[in-house]
Amino acid sequence: MSLDQTDRRILTVLQKQGRISNAELAERVNLSQSACHRRVHRLEKDGYIKDYVALLDPRKLDVPTTVFVEITLSGQADEVLDAFEKAVSRIPDVLECHLMAGTADYILKVVAENTEDFARIHRQHLARLPGVAQMQSSFALRTVFKTTALPV
């Protein structure tokens, strides 16, 4: 299925306001409510819309510190990569893990209460990850810009 301009407008609105009512969404994208509902259902069924989530405030949840961790593995064999990926996916403080091209094999996005909490996460989880040869952590001082909205 290819997306037309109306589908793209629906996706743009839903990325910013996931809890918008169908009636309001239909009005915003200039469709009838039933046509809007059918399109949203089709976008969900076809996998363009993966899920609906609430974006939480890390400060309110006492995890305001963001740390980006570059990981270099001891090897590139499938077994090494698979073991690392399986283990890192079980660490609740790791929000993202990306396989990279470049100097690091992986980059992790980790949240923590503060530097002491990150030291605990490092000691209890990151330092125990299989296949890690080198690790470098960079603390974000301030988030200048952040979005979850993809260009549609």
**pLDDT digits over 84-143, tens only?**
999 999 999 999 999 999 999 999 999 999 999 999 999 999 999 999 999 999 999 999
- CA angle at 53 for the pair 51 and 58, rounded to the nearest 5°: 145
- Residue whose entry in the numeric block shows the structure tokens 């963001």: 66
pTM: 0.90
pLDDT band at residue 1 using 50, 70 and 90 as cut-offs? confident
Give the closest residue to 43 by CA, choosing from 10, 17, 18, 13.
10
Distance CA 109, CA 81 (A): 18
Note whether 7 and 39 are within 8 A (CB).
yes
Greatest Cα-to-Cα distance within the chain, rounded to the nearest angstrom: 57
Domains of the chain: 5-45 (1.10.10.10), 65-139 (3.30.70.920)
